[in-house]
Amino acid sequence: MVDWQITATTLVCNAVAEEVTVLVYPDWTVRCTGFEKYSKSREASLVLLKRSLKLRETLDCKGLDCPTIIEYKLKLEDEEKRRASHAGEKK
Other CB atoms closer than 10 Å to residue 6's CB: what's the count?
Answer: 10
Residue 34 lies in a domain: yes
Domain interval for residue 14: 7-90
Number of domains making up the chain:
1
User: Which whole number is the average pLDDT over 30-44?
Assistant: 88
User: Which whole number is the average pLDDT over 66-72?
Assistant: 91
Rounded to whole angstroms, the Cα distance separating 89 from 72 reads: 26
Residue 28 lies in a domain: yes
Residue 2 lies in a domain: no
Q: Which of the 8 DSSP states describes residue 9?
A: E
Please count the residues of the chain: 91
Tens digit of pLDDT for each residue in 6-21? 999 999 998 888 999 9
Q: Which of the 8 DSSP states describes residue 5?
A: S
Residue 79 lies in a domain: yes
Residue 83 lies in a domain: yes
Tens digit of pLDDT for each residue in 43-68? 888 888 898 899 898 888 888 898 98
